[in-house]
Amino acid sequence: MTPEAVVSLANEAVKLSLLISAPLLGIGLVVGLIIAILQATTQVQEMTLTFVPKIVAVLLTLIAVAPWMLHKMSFFTSRLIESIPQFIR
């Protein structure tokens, strides 16, 4: 296995992990920002108020996006398994 192949494989894995985590992190960021703006305007500084909506939003997003995430991961894994003979050479 050449160093270029290792770097290419690592590059694909990092891109896939960023792509898969982007919807969850994005929703968490947006909900956190909305709650922060709401807290700033109402001056309610309750620490637990930020966690519950974020958890619910990320959980709902995970339920909605899970099939797509699973498809991406299984496609990457199947391509990786199919390319094992090329890596052994």
Q: 30-61 pLDDT, tens per residue?
A: 999 999 999 889 888 777 788 899 999 999 99
pLDDT grade for 86, boundaries at 50, 70 and 90: confident
Q: Please list, in sequence order, all residues whose beta carbon lies within 8 angstroms of the beta carbon of residue 73, skipping any fewer than 6 positions away.
A: 16, 20
pLDDT grade for 1, boundaries at 50, 70 and 90: confident
d(CA 86, CA 82): 9
User: What global pTM score does this model have?
Assistant: 0.79
d(CA 14, CA 21): 11
Give the pLDDT confidence of 57-83 residue by residue, as tens digits: 999 999 999 999 999 999 999 999 998
pLDDT over 90 at 21, yes or no:
yes
pLDDT over 90 at 24, yes or no:
yes
C-alpha distance from residue 1 to each of 44, 80, 81, 83, 84 (Å): 58, 13, 15, 11, 10
**Domain ranges in the chain?**
3-88
